[in-house]
Amino acid sequence: MFIYPTDLARKVSLLAPVLLAFTVFLAPVSVPATRLVDQYKTQTITPETTAGLQAFFKALDYSWMQFENGAPPFILGRIPADINSTVSTVSKKHTFFMGLLPMILLANQEIKGEREELLQILKRHKTRSTTTNDRERLEEVAKRYGLRGHPLTDHRARSRLLQRVDTIPPALVLAQAANESSWGTSRFAQLGNNLFGEWTFKPGTGIVPVGRPPGETYEVRKFSSIYESIRSYMNNLNRHGAYRKLREIRKALRRSGQPTAGRALAEGLLKYSQRGEEYIREIQAMIRQNKLARADTAFLRQPKIEILTSISMTGSGFFSTRNRLIGHLPPLRSNP
């Protein structure tokens, strides 16, 4: 038996003849090393086909050409293997972007929460009212962002930490994900949910690249979901010394009251690729050509889990009969 919101049930019933294997389940987001987990239950979807993923979007009235009503929050477990062979180039691009955008917004929401938490701790520090829990939490976040020094006693460390705990423009994430993973079709994306080519130096824990030089031990990381790949990539940009310029550009834009646009922050990616400036121009061109700047102002819909109805479906229908899908309220846009 399925459990669906009333309006969504009607839409799904119209799509039921599309017999596609598709799993949807409610689960807390797995976010290691942080307490900012699952502000609301987030659905995880694992589509086997691109058509199934597109049908899911349609059921939620989620369109790349019009997401003024917000993006529905969900975690995409994997990119369908047939995304490069069953749809047109334009459809492939839109499906790829739509699949990633909610996770980018969720990851940025997590970072915003961390930043606000840090600001509250630092505010209490000024009034000499910090607690042991405050100090432990500050140490935990500082460690995750690779910060040396003590933010409560060193103003330079405090400034560096706030410069690191900040969001990444969705346009930049989308462009780099498409570029690095060949629109989700690369071997590393398909086998390891790795969209950004991140490495690991723990033998046996990743995927060995074809043509790896003799004597090298690095492997390409495996992630439990695409969401974890996105979170890791964001943390990498926010903590690694190679991307200090990106963080400085972001800080300068915030100080001047300008939006932290993806094209602007791309200037800080000089060391992301051996191609240097050429890589930066390629990422900026992808943002421009695919009109990704509009994603920088995207926001999440607020989910609705209270009003549900039951629908009986059997076999390998539109969704797995073992799981359930939440609906969504009209958007709650606190930061227009």
CB count, 10 Å around CB of 95?
A: 23
The residue among 30, 58, 27, 59 whose CA lies nearest residue 45 is 27
Instruction: Name the E strands within 126-260.
Output: 199-200, 219-220
Q: 53-57, 71-75, 174-178, 213-217: which range is least confident on average?
A: 213-217
In a domain, 227, yes or no: yes
What residue type is assigned to position 196 of the chain?
A: F
CATH number assigned to the domain comprising residue 148: 1.10.530.10
Can you give the residue range of the structural domain that contains 252? Answer: 2-328
In a domain, 92, yes or no: yes
In a domain, 335, yes or no: no
Q: How confident is the model at residue 303 (pLDDT cuts 50, 70, 90)?
A: low
- Separation CA 329–CA 308 (nearest Å): 12
In a domain, 195, yes or no: yes
In a domain, 334, yes or no: no
Is pLDDT at 12 greater than 50 in this prediction? no
User: 31: exposed, middle or buried (C-beta count within 10 Å: 0-12, 13-18, 19+)?
Assistant: middle
User: What's the chain's Rg over C-alpha atoms?
Assistant: 21
CA 252 to chain centre: 24
In a domain, 333, yes or no: no
Total structural domains within the chain: 1
CB count, 10 Å around CB of 214?
A: 4
In a domain, 133, yes or no: yes
In a domain, 219, yes or no: yes
Q: Is 301:329 a contact under the CB 8 Å cutoff?
A: yes
Q: How confident is the model at residue 257 (pLDDT cuts 50, 70, 90)?
A: very high
The pLDDT tens digits of the residues spanning 200-245 come to 888 888 888 888 899 888 999 999 899 999 999 999 999 999 999 9
Give Cβ neighbours of residue 310 (< 8 Å, ≥ 6 apart).
1, 2, 3, 4
The pLDDT tens digits of the residues spanning 156-200 come to 999 999 999 999 999 999 999 999 999 999 999 999 999 998 988
Is pLDDT at 30 greater than 50 in this prediction? no
